[in-house]
Amino acid sequence: MRKGVNVHRCISKRQTYYGGLSHFKSSSVYIAMSSGKHMICDIRNIKNIGLVHDLGGLMTVLDTICDTYQFNILHKKHHIFYPQGLTIMYLLAESHISLHTFPENNHVAFDIYTCRAYPDNSVYDEIYDFLIQYFYADRDVPIILDR
């Protein structure tokens, strides 16, 4: 089985479903369909450092992302660490979002995975741009994986 081949790239080939949830056979090669995209990013050198401590503000950011892209929130959970830092998890019908703050390192780790089939990375690029603007942070290159 060839892993990591996005079935959208093979649209022109003849495909036959051969059982299982996500496998097609095309010209004697098995192709695994994408089950979504996963973005992992580290937001560093945050200039709007007060936001790293603001649970309500951070949850508003995640709510805004979910509203904008119509992600369905099933549960919200958070934990505040002492003396500093917090973790927020959103369980989505589409999968999850997590955010972890490390104020001592001026760093936020952000992770989002959804099972939607996007034709490219533009939605996740928009989300990353929104986060960089919100935190007023240095731009880096997020990792976006086809799952």
At 120 the three-state DSSP class reads coil
CB-based contact 30:24 (threshold 8 Å): yes
Tokens of 101: 């703050």
Give the active site residues. 95, 100, 115
Of 85, 111, 78, nearest to 97 (Cα)? Answer: 111
Angle between helices 122-135 and 55-68 (to 10 degrees): 150
The span from the CA of 68 to the CA of 144, in Å, is 19
The span from the CA of 94 to the CA of 136, in Å, is 28
Of 11, 9, 6, nearest to 22 (Cα)? Answer: 6
